[in-house]
Amino acid sequence: MVEIVEQELHKLYTLVYVLNKDKTKILLGLKKRGFGKGRWNGFGGKVEKGETIEQGALRELKEESNLDAKNLEKKGVIYFKFEGDPVIMDVHLYTTTDVSGDLIETDEMLPKWYNVSDLPYSSMWPDDPIWHPWFFEGKIFTVKFFFKADLETITGYKHKFASSVSELDAINLDS
Ligand SMILES: Nc1ncnc2c1[nH]c(=O)n2[C@H]1C[C@H](O)[C@@H](COP(=O)(O)OP(=O)(O)OP(=O)(O)O)O1
C-alpha cells in the first residue's frame, strides 16, 4: 500500500500589534483589499526575499500605517493550515508601544485605535479570540490553527507556551 503524504510548504508572514503605553488600546487596521479584506487586524504581510522577519515586520507596518516602530518585541508564531492547501502560513507576531510618525490611511489599511476591552471580533479573524487572551496576558506562545477551505471555520488548533522567545524555535507542536 502506498501512503500519500501531503508536503507542507511554509510561507513567512508578520503581524504587528501596536499598543499605547499603558496597553489599554490597540491600533488595528481594516484591510481594504486582498487576503482578509473587510477584517480588522494588526499590520503585517509577507516577508520578502533578502529581508529578516523583523525587517519585514517593520516594512509592512510602515507601508500599511506610515508608522515606524523602534522596539519590536516578539510574542509568538501562529501557523495557519487550510484544508486542501499545502501552504502553511507562519505568522510571526510582534508588539510595540514605541512608534513614531504620522498615522495615515493607506491603500491597504484604514487604521483605528480600539480599547483592548472592546475589540470588533465579529469583523476579525475567527482565531483572534482564541489567542488574544494569551497575548494580552503577556504570554509567549506558538499555535497552529486548522481551517476549512472557506477561511472561516476552525476545525481545531494546538498550542504551547514558551518561557522565552529563544525557546520558540525549538517547540514542536506535534510532540
Ligand atoms: N487568521 C488570521 N488571524 C490573524 N492574522 C492573520 C490571519 N491570517 C492572516 O493572513 N493574518 C495576517 C498575517 C499578515 O499580517 C496578514 C496577511 O498578509 P497579506 O496582506 O496577505 O500580505 P501582504 O504582503 O501585505 O499582501 P499584498 O501586499 O501582496 O496584498 O494577515
Atom of ligand 1 nearest to the CA of 34: 30
CA dist., res. 77 & res. 165, Å (int): 10
Q: Are 7 and 86 in contact (CB under 8 A)?
A: yes
Q: At 5, is the pLDDT very low, low, confident or very high (cuts 50, 70, 90)?
A: low
pLDDT digits (tens, 9 = 90+) for 139-171: 999 999 999 999 999 999 999 999 999 999 899
What are the residue boundaries of the structural domains of the chain, listed by start? 14-168
Atom of ligand 1 nearest to the CA of 15: 15
Pocket flag, ligand 1, residue 94 (CB < 6 Å): no
Q: What is the ipTM of this complex?
A: 0.95
Pocket flag, ligand 1, residue 46 (CB < 6 Å): yes
Spell out the residues 6+ positions from residue 56 whose beta carbon is closer than 8 angstroms to its own: 12, 14, 45, 46, 47, 48
Atom of ligand 1 nearest to the CA of 151: 1
Q: Are 103 and 25 in contact (CB under 8 A)?
A: no
Pocket flag, ligand 1, residue 40 (CB < 6 Å): no
Atom of ligand 1 nearest to the CA of 35: 21
**How far from each other are the two terminal CA atoms of the chain, in whole angstroms?**
26
Phi/psi class of residue 48: alpha, beta or left (left: φ > 0; alpha: ψ in -120 to 50)?
beta
Compute, in angstroms, the gap from residue 89 CA to the centroid of ligand 1.
Answer: 9
Compute, in angstroms, the gap from residue 48 CA to the centroid of ligand 1.
Answer: 13
Q: What angle do CA 142, 145, 107 make, to 5 degrees?
A: 90
pLDDT digits (tens, 9 = 90+) for 27-81: 999 999 999 999 999 999 999 999 999 999 999 999 999 999 999 999 999 999 9
| Closest to 102 measured CA to CA, from 74, 75, 67, 136 | 67
Residue 6, exposed/middle/buried by CB under 10 A (0-12, 13-18, 19+)?
A: exposed
Q: Are 171 and 161 in contact (CB under 8 A)?
A: no
Compute, in angstroms, the gap from residue 3 CA to the centroid of ligand 1.
Answer: 33
Residues 14-168, CATH architecture = Alpha-Beta Complex (3.90)
- Better-predicted residue by pLDDT, 2 or 55: 55
Residues pairing with 128 in the sheet: none
| Closest to 64 measured CA to CA, from 105, 15, 96, 102 | 105
Compute, in angstroms, the gap from residue 43 CA to the centroid of ligand 1.
Answer: 8
Q: Return the pLDDT at 8.
A: 81
At residue 12, the 3 state secondary structure works out as: strand
At residue 168, the 3 state secondary structure works out as: helix
Q: Return the pLDDT at 107.
A: 95
